[in-house]
């Protein structure tokens, strides 16, 4: 069996965020001759709750910004991905572009198209709210792929619960951070909270 991941031109993993830089840049790692730095961005929701999203920023983006410091407001585009480090899976947004925006500017938009990976997990909360956890795999170049954890609520959760593996889907929503436990240890989860989800074949029929 081939280990090559087929790259589908419809696969999408796009993130646009705006918010406040949480802390000074730190060196993350170096690949070949390029250095990468890390920090986090604070994004306030309409409810007042804040999501704190880790960022990985290539040196060329840092150079274009001249300086990136704690407390400054920026907007950026990139993709949501994960990287194994010290036997742990770290999730972050890989930054492609970044620019300054006025103080108090917040934005959180995610778009994803790919295939359902693993069987969706459905449950109902104590208050009767339907929740489904879905993993979407979005292929990219060089035999790589992003595995994107997503959470759906209410009617979208009811729709997603029965989607079989490998179903092609497109979704939109926001990237969120959530505190919980993993193996009885406090853990911060990063996931896409979907406000819309559609099978790609249904999307094509609708556009026909």
pLDDT digits (tens, 9 = 90+) for 14-29: 999 999 999 999 999 9
Q: Whole domain around residue 81: which residue ranges?
A: 12-107
Average pLDDT score over the chain: 89
> Mean per-residue pLDDT for 29-51?
94
Residues 128 and 196 in one domain: yes
**Is residue 47's pLDDT more than 80?**
yes
> Mean per-residue pLDDT for 48-69?
93
Pick the most confident of 61-70, 75-84, 116-125, 134-143: 116-125
pTM summary value: 0.87
Total count of domains within the chain: 2
Indicate which CATH number applies to the domain containing 199.
Answer: 2.40.50.140
Residues 133 and 200 in one domain: yes
Residue that has been written with the tokens 């909270």 in this structure: 193
Residues 21 and 74 in one domain: yes
């Amino acid at each position: 069996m081939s280990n090559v991941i087929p790259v589908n031109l419809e696969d999408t993993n796009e993130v646009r965020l705006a918010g406040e830089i949480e802390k000074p840049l730190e060196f993350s790692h170096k690949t070949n001759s390029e250095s990468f730095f890390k920090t986090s961005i604070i994004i306030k929701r309409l409810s007042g709750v804040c999501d704190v999203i880790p960022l990985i920023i290539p040196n060329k983006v840092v150079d274009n910004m001249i300086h990136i410091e704690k407390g400054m407001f920026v907007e950026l585009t990139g993709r949501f991905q994960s990287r194994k480090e010290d036997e742990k899976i770290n999730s972050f947004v890989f930054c492609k572009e970044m620019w300054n925006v006025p103080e108090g500017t917040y934005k959180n938009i995610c778009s994803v198209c790919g295939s359902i990976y693993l069987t969706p997990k459905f449950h109902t909360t104590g208050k009767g709210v339907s929740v489904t956890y879905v993993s979407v795999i979005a292929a990219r170049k060089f035999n790589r792929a992003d595995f994107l954890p997503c959470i759906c609520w209410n009617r979208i959760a009811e729709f997603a619960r029965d989607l079989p593996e490998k179903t092609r889907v497109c979704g939109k929503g926001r990237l969120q951070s959530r505190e919980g436990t993993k193996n009885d240890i406090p853990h911060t989860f990063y996931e896409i909270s979907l406000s819309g989800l559609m099978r790609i074949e249904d999307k094509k029929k609708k556009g026909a």
